[in-house]
């Protein structure tokens, strides 16, 4: 089976600090995967390397057998941890911008999701709560017909009700042949939607198993195993 994503002997150093060390990872189509680890474990560095926002110190990243570039930008829909949208913009301006920029963006899908939030598209982003801004950013990402959705801390910093909306939006608005790679430390909130869990620690992968394998072989939930592996 052709892999959607491959990381081969991937390392990234910042001066003398090694953020990722000789990491190997393969992802296939059609899975929801949790990229799980504490702060500073290497999650965001890995995500930025996959997106071509950083260059590796050694090793390589391949998306559909190609290095990150123009083609991978079309294949990957990326939700960064921090907002990149200008607060002065209106919601409908941002939707039009995405529609112009991405040929796989569905304006209709974006407005359908937006209507469910009862948000006026003419509102400026600066008038929205933090939770509603997070939802708008997620709508923009999930309105693309991508092969790989990379979501960096999509439920971090929002209230439980907003988390429920965000997770429901994720699982109901993506192509089932696509893959979702979701970075988070809020494991109990996302465990029920995961097919696979990847534990990353000190720049290396310490576990890469299906959720069913974790429950069968370890007799624990993903959250319980995570707490055991990363116990201070």
User: What is residue 176's three-state secondary structure?
Assistant: coil
Query: Exposed e or buried b for every residue in 75-108, given b needs 16+ CB within 10 A?
Result: bbbbbbeeeeeeeeeebbbbbeebbeebeebbee
Share of the chain above pLDDT 70, in %: 99
- Over the chain, what is the mean pLDDT? 90
Token pair recorded at residue 191: 């465990």
Mean pLDDT of 4-26: 94
User: What pLDDT sits at residue 132?
Assistant: 86
Lowest mean pLDDT among 61-65, 95-99, 181-185: 181-185
The model's pLDDT over 48-57, given as tens digits with 9 standing for 90+, comes to 999 999 999 9
Question: Would the pLDDT of 201 be above 70?
Answer: yes
Question: Would the pLDDT of 160 be above 90?
Answer: no
More confident call, 215 vs 86: 215
User: What pLDDT sits at residue 171?
Assistant: 82
Residue 18 per-residue DSSP state: E
Residues 121 and 200: their CA atoms lie apart, in Å, by 39
More confident call, 194 vs 153: 194
Beta bridge partners of 201: 204
The model's pLDDT over 94-150, given as tens digits with 9 standing for 90+, comes to 999 999 999 999 999 999 988 887 888 999 999 998 888 888 998 999 999 999 999
Return the CATH class of domain 5-229.
alpha beta
Q: Which helix (H) or strand (E) holds 207?
A: strand 204-210
User: What pLDDT sits at residue 232?
Assistant: 62
Question: Would the pLDDT of 172 be above 90?
Answer: no
Residue spans of beta strands (DSSP E) within 29-111: 32-36, 58-63, 76-79
Beta bridge partners of 5: 27, 63
Please state the pTM of the whole predicted model: 0.92
Token pair recorded at residue 200: 């990353």
Mean pLDDT of 78-98: 89
**Domain boundaries, given as residue ranges, for the chain:** 5-229
């Amino acid at each position: 089976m052709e892999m959607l994503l491959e990381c081969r002997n991937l390392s990234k150093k910042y001066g003398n600090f090694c953020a990722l060390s000789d990491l190997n990872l393969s992802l296939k189509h059609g899975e929801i995967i949790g990229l799980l680890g504490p702060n500073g474990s290497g999650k965001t560095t890995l995500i930025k390397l996959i997106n071509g926002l950083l260059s590796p110190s050694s090793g390589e990243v391949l998306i559909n057998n190609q290095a990150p570039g123009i083609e991978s930008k079309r294949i990957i829909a990326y939700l960064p941890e921090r907002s990149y949208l200008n607060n002065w913009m209106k919601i409908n301006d941002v939707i039009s911008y995405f529609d112009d920029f991405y040929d796989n963006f569905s304006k209709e899908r974006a407005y359908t999701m937006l209507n469910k939030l009862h948000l006026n598209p003419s509102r400026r982003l600066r008038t929205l709560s933090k939770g509603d801004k997070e939802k708008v950013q997620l709508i923009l990402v999930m309105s693309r017909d991508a092969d790989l959705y990379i979501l960096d801390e999509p439920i971090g910093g929002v209230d439980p009700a907003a988390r429920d909306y965000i997770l429901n939006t994720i699982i109901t608005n993506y192509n089932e042949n696509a893959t979702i790679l979701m970075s988070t430390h809020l494991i109990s909130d996302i465990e029920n939607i995961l097919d696979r869990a990847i534990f990353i620690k000190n720049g290396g992968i310490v576990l890469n198993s299906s959720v069913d394998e974790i429950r069968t072989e370890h007799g624990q939930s993903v959250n319980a195993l995570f707490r055991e592996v990363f116990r201070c």
